[in-house]
Amino acid sequence: MKVSRLAKRRSEAHEALEHGRITRDGKALKPGYQVKAGDVLQIHYATRFVTVRVREVPLRVTPSVKPADLYEILDSRRDEAEWL
């Protein structure tokens, strides 16, 4: 997630995984999950949900890796406050 810039820091991605804010097929992922090309992930940020399809998982970070080429955004929506 850090390489693709879906999370700003590795610790932020780890925390999201521990709290169940990243899911695949409706099930929360664990920090040790190995993301594969073709996975569809739903990520819950503080005020929005983003659904992405993983296109590629690089073996290492290099300057030629473009974050936008690693995934495609399928859906993005704002999290409506439930108490309104």
pTM of the model: 0.80
- CA gap 45, 33 in Å, rounded: 19
* Number of folded domains that form the chain: 1
Query: What are the phi and psi torsion angles at 33 (to 5°)?
Result: -65, 135
Q: Which residue has the tokens 């590629």?
A: 56
Domain of 30 in residue numbering reads as: 10-78
Render pLDDT for 36-49 as a digit per residue (tens, 0 to 9): 999 999 999 888 99
Q: Is residue 5 part of a domain?
A: no
pLDDT attached to residue 2: 72
pLDDT attached to residue 8: 83
pLDDT attached to residue 46: 84
Output 58 or 23, whichever has higher pLDDT.
Answer: 23
Q: Is residue 40 part of a domain?
A: yes
What does the radius of gyration of the chain's CA atoms come to, in whole angstroms? Answer: 13
The token pair at 72 is 């495609």
Q: Which of 58, 74, 78 is nearest to 66 (CA)?
A: 58
CATH code of the domain in which 71 resides: 3.10.290.10
